[in-house]
Amino acid sequence: MKKAVAGVLAAALAIWYFLDVQPPVVDFPSAGQNIIAFGDSLVTGYGASPGNDFVSIFSARLGRLIVNAGRNGDTTHTGLERLEGEVLSQEPRIVMLLLGGNDALRKVPVDETFDRLATMIDQIHEKGAAVVLVGVRGSLLGDQYEVHFDVLAEAKQTNYVPDILNGSFGHPSLMADAIQPNNEGNVLMADRLEPVLRAVLE
């Protein structure tokens, strides 16, 4: 049943992305002040030139600060360790949660990865902040994570952007290396996230 509902959610997200309609919003904030992007090198913008990471691009478009709480090499384990100090203690209102890629590279068991993501979502929600869950690929050759992200987003009722590198991955003109987007790839990431974040802010 959960997989069926998650499939519907993923289909709805695909429709708004490709048809440019308003994305579904299922998670609104009830407290907090700050928008925080929390994750790994995809958040720090590794592979892009200074100021061209998607967080900076987004911040300029919105005309307001987005806190970049990314750290290169982070896994869900290290992310969970620093969640309190870098997110929960910073008056979060909206948290973009982008972790899991390094877990896949290090062959962390999938259940462990998604259990930790679920724990982070619960702790963020306890603060009254909304979550924008950002999906990543679970493999360079396939996507073992897709259904897990779909199910997690539905179970925890988070806003959700699937596979953030969809459209960039595998296109050399958009990638700095095999797994990191370049400036143009970061623009595409910002484009995919923008409708969801704007909808939550309204």
Domain residue limits, the chain: 2-201
- Please give the pLDDT value at position 77: 98
Cα gap 94→33, rounded to integer Å: 8
**In whole numbers, what is the pLDDT of the chain averaged over residues?**
90
How confident is the model over 129-170, as pLDDT tens digits?
999 999 998 876 667 899 999 999 999 999 999 999 998 988
- Does pLDDT of 11 surpass 60? no
Distance CA 73, CA 60 (A): 26
Over residues 23-66, the pLDDT tens digits come to: 678 999 999 999 999 999 999 999 999 999 999 999 999 999 99
Token code pair at residue 82: 């620093």
Taking the C-alpha atoms of residue 185 and residue 190, their distance in angstroms, rounded to an integer, is 9
> How does strand 66-70 pair with strand 159-161?
unpaired
pLDDT confidence bin for 22, thresholds 50/70/90: low
* Radius of gyration from C-alpha coordinates of the chain: 15
Confidence category of residue 4, pLDDT binned at 50, 70, 90? very low
pLDDT tens figures, 80-110: 999 999 999 999 999 999 999 999 999 999 9
pTM comes to 0.88
Q: Supply the pLDDT for residue 169.
A: 86
CATH number of 2-201: 3.40.50.1110
Question: What pLDDT score does 16 carry?
Answer: 44
**H/E segment holding residue 186:** helix 183-201
pLDDT of residue 24: 74
Please write the tens of the pLDDT for every residue from 151-162.
Answer: 999 999 999 999
Q: Which residues lie across from 7 on neighbouring strands? A: none
Please report, for residues 79, 125, 135, 172, 200, the alpha-carbon distance to residue 30 in angstroms, rounded to integers and kept in the order given: 24, 9, 24, 41, 11
